[in-house]
Amino acid sequence: MDSAFQSLLLPSVSSPQLLQQRRPMAQDDPVVSAQWLQQHLGQPDIKILDASWYMPHESRDAWQEYQVAHIPGALYFDIDGISDRTTHLPHMLPSEEAFAAAVSALGISNHDKVIVYDGKGFYSAPRVWWMFRILGHDKVWVLDGGFPQWQASGFNIGSSCLDDAVLKSRAANSAVETAYNGELANAATFQTEFRHQLLWTLEKVKHNVAAKAHQVVDARVKGRFDGVMPEPREGVRSGHIPGTKCVPFPEMSDGAQTLLPADEISKKFEQAGISLADPIVLTCASGVTACILALGLYRIGKHDVPVYDGSWTEWEALPDNDYPIVTSAGS
């Protein structure tokens, strides 16, 4: 990151204590403020992505909401569309080729600084942040507080969707289809570099249940983790992988849906019985909210924490004798 960009990531405060506390934003922090983004709108190397995504039971249409209101210049990144087309599991990480084709279709290059936000404030944007990082792009940040914080700050909102923006978003999804169909497409301009250490598979998680080399941390809310609340997806049981601990994803943010300070994030993990000095792997329902925990851990200096992409949706669907389920009742 260039020095000018580092300095601009710092908050405009006069308190030396606060400035010192927030200084990691310059190099190592995974979020930027709405104020910073507003000051840099329109710069050619700043690319903004609306990565809003909602569960089916929420009855919200992220694509429709984007077309009605979004941060000026933002393009829509479809988590379900830019995904692995070879699995029945929802929105799994796409292949390098497919991701490169999609990102290129969005007009993003390896030199660009990517800012991702979502409509809840702090929900699905960290998933796209993780996707860029696992595929080699470090110049990516989440907008702290997301679209709600942008609105609350009184900044301009794009209320009409330009044809070019619609075409680019649709082209990104089409590029994924083309890549998985093995058809020739326009040469991708975005280059990927897959970081295997940030991704865990079913086999790794199963091995770890016995080996216990990594602490497995689940981001779902406690009721679902304990098996006393239903999962939002029809046909999916609640409960958790043996040996897993729970840090619910809402605990990473405050009432304004902004990322907690590093010391408070550390306390959340420590209170759940997790040693921050030892290896951690993250899971959730389908690989989305685990990335919120990854973002929090990144803030406290743990930059290489992997995510189990298939997560609970994959584990729960398999035979219990090989992939056991634990609930608060002990079953």
Q: Return per-residue pLDDT of the chain as tens, 331 residues.
A: 443 334 334 333 333 333 333 333 345 799 999 999 999 999 999 999 999 999 888 999 999 999 999 999 999 999 999 999 999 999 999 999 999 999 999 999 999 999 999 999 999 999 999 999 999 999 999 999 999 999 999 999 997 777 889 999 999 999 999 999 988 666 788 999 999 999 999 999 999 999 999 999 999 999 999 999 999 998 999 999 999 999 999 999 999 999 999 999 999 999 999 999 999 999 999 999 999 999 999 999 999 999 999 999 999 999 999 999 999 865 4
Q: Residue for token digits 């190397």?
A: 45
Q: Look up residue 12 and give its DSSP letter.
A: -
Residue 184: predicted pLDDT? 64
Do 31-181 and 196-317 show the same overall fold?
yes
Residue 56: predicted pLDDT? 82
Domain boundaries, the chain: 31-181, 196-317
Strand partners of residue 280: 215
Q: How many CB atoms sit inside 10 A of residue 234's CB?
A: 8
The end-to-end CA distance of the chain, in Å, is: 50
Q: What is the chain's alpha carbon radius of gyration, rounded to the nearest angstrom?
A: 19
Amino acid at site 294: A
The whole-angstrom separation of Cα 117 and Cα 146 is 5
Q: Look up residue 285 and give its DSSP letter.
A: S
Q: Look up residue 187 and give its DSSP letter.
A: P
Residue 330: predicted pLDDT? 58
DSSP per-residue string spanning 203-241: HHHHHHHHH--SEEEE-S-HHHHHTSS--SSTTPPP-B-
Two tokens at 242? 């043996």
Two tokens at 269? 């993990």
CB 45 within 8 A of CB 113: yes
**Which phi-psi region, left, alpha or beta, contains residue 273 (left: φ > 0; alpha: ψ -120 to 50)?**
left
User: Which residue numbers are catalytic?
Assistant: 284
CATH topology of domain 31-181: Oxidized Rhodanese; domain 1 (3.40.250)
Residue 82: predicted pLDDT? 98
User: What is the Cα 190 distance to its own chain's centre?
Assistant: 20
The whole-angstrom separation of Cα 138 and Cα 68 is 30
Residue 102: predicted pLDDT? 97
Please give the C-alpha separations between residue 108 and each of 112, 154, 161, in angstroms, as whole numbers: 6, 27, 19
The whole-angstrom separation of Cα 294 and Cα 219 is 10
Cα angle vertex 196, ends 195, 200, to 5°?
130
Check if CATH label 3.40.250.10 holds for domain 196-317: yes
Measured in degrees and rounded to the nearest 5, phi and psi for residue 184 equal: -70, 140
